[in-house]
Amino acid sequence: MGPRASIVIPAHNEAAVIGPTLERVLRDAAPGEFDVVVVCNGCSDGTAGAAAKLPGVRVVETPVGSKIAALNLGDVVATTFPRVYLDADIEVDTASLRAVVRALEEGAVIAAPLPRVDLAGCGPGARLYFTLWRHLGYAREHVVGSGFYALSEQGRARFGTFPDLVADDLFVYSLFRAGERVNPPGARFVIRAPRSLRATLDRRTRIVFGNLQLRAATGRIPDVPRPTPPGVVAQKPWLVPAAAVYVVVNTVAARRAQARLAAGQAVGWNRDESRRVRDMSGKNAVTRGLVSASTVKGWAKVANFFRYDSKELARAAIGPGVYVSPTVSVRNGARVSIGAGSHIGQWSCLWAGDSDGRIEIGDHALLAPDVFITASDYDFDAGPGPVMDLPKRERDVRIGSNCWLGAKVVVVAGVTIGDGAVVAAGSVVTRDIPENAVAAGVPARVVRMRGERRDDQ
């Protein structure tokens, strides 16, 4: 039996990321299950060697540094359909890849996982921008692109070679109606957001340039699923600061892209090196510029708040695929760890101890808005007098994997919440919660175990 699908990965100087990308894709794959072709285009680093270390990966090298040329060369070398087109820095696991391939085998013509944006280490401006972006219809429904799309043989037959356009994914997106673009349930891939607002602006300039170039070359204007930014703010007014950053970035990017297109200037790939090297220096430069230019005092206060907490968040140990709302408050981030795929809702507080009290959150945990977790408290029995003059007691807090903490849950120092536990909204957790328990109340008590029949059923 031949390979189930071909995967084409164009790579230009991607030695830092190509190995982890391939390892994640192939981790649970059977030998020969996928035909993987890495097209090293114009590389001057060790991309080819890093890719060749993975068994079953074929490496093709070309001196032409062009993503479009690499995609077309990959199509020539690839052996089968369905065909997956994957950027070298995208994180996707074998299960999600299989779900996409299965959808195409069952009749879909184009498919992709839904994106999850990794904001770990991002500055406040970039965090605000992508917080708004992830609520847009484009990022939530009928998603194709942003580094991953896959076609059946019938879908690939809708065009010949890839045209010489900046936005290959937008070109492919424009060829299919919304109802044809399939996102299999449960399939996800991770986009690493640019760490700075300047890098975000460069990325957005390239995207807008691609939109304008596509329209000029083909006359096509891709549909934009709702909600758009005004619709997002109407539904979630607390995202107004994020919307402000989004509008400013898009406005500046549009002007830059239009000027370059009118002057006949090409837009380079503007690859975001901040996602490949963990370097937080200067991350707030653009944000400070926006704040200093703003006449709205409230916006300046918001920016100052996010700047402080983003520094603490950058010190935390954060796994891949984690979403942390830009309004989350973090204290003593070096003693905070968040496992892979977890979600920390807006206005939540993760306050580790000043000395040794840690907060440890497992994989795929869900914290709703306004969750408060602290690893220290005041020893009010130590004597009379002002509470803030009393000594603190620090004890570790552990939140297990696959837990769900509802809105406005409070977790005090020293508590362990077991894997799979659920804590009802508004509860105050003062003692340990066992695995797979459902707890509620002030103080929280176990009311049943997950899977047990509820009294009201």
pLDDT at residue 211 greater than cutoff 80: yes
pLDDT in tens, 401-425: 999 999 999 999 999 999 999 999 9
**Cα separation of 457 and 111, whole Å?**
39
Cis ω on the peptide bond leading into residue 63 (within 30° of 0)? no
Nearest residue to 108 via CA among 35, 162, 185, 167: 185
Element (H, E) at 330: strand 329-331
Query: Which tokens in the block code for residue 146?
Result: 């942003």
Give the model's pLDDT for residue 294: 39
Mean pLDDT, the chain, whole residue set:
86
Give the model's pLDDT for residue 451: 87
Q: Which residues pair with 423 in a beta bridge?
A: 405, 439
Give the model's pLDDT for residue 282: 36
Please state, in angstroms and as integers, the Cα–Cα distance from residue 120 to each residue in 22, 263, 323, 358, following that order: 21, 37, 8, 19
**Cα separation of 122 and 366, whole Å?**
20
Q: Which domains does the chain have, with CATH numbers?
A: 5-120+128-193 (3.90.550.10), 315-449 (2.160.10.10)
pLDDT at residue 109 greater than cutoff 80: yes
- When pLDDT is cut at 50, 70 and 90, the band that residue 77 belongs to is very high
**Cα separation of 347 and 131, whole Å?**
13
Give the model's pLDDT for residue 398: 97
**Cα separation of 264 and 166, whole Å?**
14
Give the model's pLDDT for residue 296: 43
How much is the average pLDDT of 292-299?
42
Most confident of the ranges 18-27, 289-298, 302-311: 18-27
pLDDT in tens, 130-167: 999 988 887 887 888 889 999 999 999 999 999 988 88
Nearest residue to 431 via CA among 452, 410, 457: 410
Give the model's pLDDT for residue 293: 39
Question: Maximum CA pair distance of the chain?
Answer: 80
**Cα separation of 315 and 331, whole Å?**
10
**Cα separation of 326 and 303, whole Å?**
10
What does 379-418 look like in DSSP terms, one character per residue?
-GGG-SS-GGGSPEEE--EEE-TT-EE-TT-EE-TT-EE-
- When pLDDT is cut at 50, 70 and 90, the band that residue 302 belongs to is very low
Adjacency order of strands within the sheet including 323-324: 323-324, 343-344, 366-367, 404-405, 422-423, 437-440, 445-449
Give the model's pLDDT for residue 276: 54
pLDDT in tens, 344-371: 988 899 999 988 999 999 999 999 999 9
Element (H, E) at 152: none
**Cα separation of 311 and 304, whole Å?**
11
Give the model's pLDDT for residue 328: 85
- When pLDDT is cut at 50, 70 and 90, the band that residue 178 belongs to is confident
Nearest residue to 255 via CA among 456, 313, 247: 247
Task: Label each residue of 336-369 as H, E or C.
Answer: EEECCCCEECCCCEEECCCCCCCEEECCCCEECC
How much is the average pLDDT of 245-266?
83
